[in-house]
Amino acid sequence: MKVDLSNDFKEKYRNLMGERAEKLFSAIQEDSQDAFRLNPLKANYKNVAYPLDEPIEYSPIGYYGNIDGNSIDHISGYVYSQEPSAMYVTEILDPAKDDKILDLCAAPGSKTTYIASKMASQGLLVSNEINSKRAKVLSSNIERMGITNTVVTNNSPKDFEKKFDNFFDKILVDAPCSGEGMFRKDPESTQYWSLDYVEQCANRQQHILDSTYKLLDNGGTLVYSTCTFSPEENEQNIDWFLKKYPDMHLVEVKKYAGMEDGRPEWGNNNPELKKALRMFPDQFNGEGHFMCKMVKDGEKSEIKERQINTGLKKDDLKFVSKFAKANLNGLSESNWLKISDFLYQAASLDSRFKGLHILRNGLKLGEFKKNRFEPDIAWMLALKPSELKTVFELDQEQYEKYLHGESVILSQRPDFDNKWIGLSFEGKLFSWGRYSNQQIKNVYPKGLRR
């Protein structure tokens, strides 16, 4: 599909880039580059059906290639499709297992799920999205990938300012932008582009950065990224931010082949902007991106958690323990939180989250029903086979029927008698099954059936 570039766009980049602009315009007309990531939170995570012979140099879990969203690898959370340039943002952020991290503009979840995979289910990751529909997509992607340490929120950055002053060790702002770097991946997005729209995006990004400064702890790291070429949204915004907050400073990031320095001449000739990073599709095997890493001066704050009431009753513990004893090889009782009739293994019990719109707090374990506890699919997607008493491997026909919502009829009595079992296909857990009378009854969520 031909990408329709406006005259204003072409004139702007001819003025900025000279003769090279024509190479950029030609690259935008070429096919976009597909890539995907593996998920190290899964058991035997390299056991996927996709070739791993084209690794991405700067990502230890990234590969060039296309994946099928209907494959078991995708359904079970073993792979995540992500544009190759975008993968480098998380590597720049460099998450550690004990960090408190905020992904402020997180939907649909490609960067959040990458961050979580490097945190190994430890620390705290808050993934926020201001758009409610996109926040639901974010939450479902986090569930599919088996992530347990994340609070998903649907709030404005301003909402966080009142509660999380100097709280986070690391913050990622993958800012909503004019999207110029994604024109060839999403040609229809050119219809929304204008010089005025670029200015609107730049102004909105400044408001987001203002909030971010207040949320970042002393000594903390802020990574700012966009998928646009626009100097107004990149170098000029960072120059403005550094001048407004002199205790923030840019740090150098490693640049691989095809990656380029930021352009000081596009940001009031601030020489520090060379430390930022740009990717243009005429030089780099991916889409257009801008990224930079900043650090806040000062000594780290001492932050104490203000714990909320978990809402659990004695009978609740009894029902979950009974379920676990029958179906699991052990159970962690840390950070349990009851919300309505649902049980979570919370990513945080800190009262600072009260008043925010929370879509998911950690791992949804299941639901209390009359005199019993029933597990949620989110729990299955976070379990490893060794944690279950029974894993039943479906064949191709059984798997396809189960995805359609049908039960599995067994030809003979199996060698297990527990009610709740893990179902897998091609060695990958993807759902609970409820066994009774030589059949595995279908409990696969209706919204996921095919």
Q: Cβ distance 386 to 43 under 8 Å?
A: yes
N- to C-terminal Cα separation, the chain: 29
3-state secondary structure of 268: coil
| DSSP code per residue over 189-237 | GGGG--HHHHHHHHHHHHHHHHHHHHHEEEEEEEEEEES---GGGTHHH
Strands 168-174 and 100-103 turn out to be: parallel
Measured distance CA(316)–CA(373) in Å, rounded? 8
Q: Long-range contacts made by residues 13-16, C-beta under 8 angstroms, separation at least 24?
A: 13/229, 16/231, 16/266
Sign of CA dihedral 393, 396, 399, 401: negative
Q: Cβ distance 195 to 12 under 8 Å?
A: yes
Return binding residues.
105-111, 129, 174
Q: Which helix (H) or strand (E) is 325 found in, with range?
A: helix 314-327
Return binding residues for S-adenosyl-L-methionine.
105-111, 129, 174
227 given a catalytic annotation: yes
Respond yes or no on whether the N-terminal peptide bond of residue 108 is cis (omega within 30° of 0). yes
Sheet holding 79-81, edge to edge: 62-64, 35-38, 79-81
Nearest Cα residue to 221 out of 325, 328, 297 = 297
Q: Long-range contacts made by residues 329-334, C-beta under 8 angstroms, separation at least 24?
A: 329/386, 329/387, 329/388, 329/389, 330/387
> Exposed, middle or buried, 406 (CB in 10 Å: 0-12/13-18/19+)?
middle
For 302, the token pair is 């001492």
For 434, the token pair is 């409820």
Q: Catalytic residue numbers?
A: 227
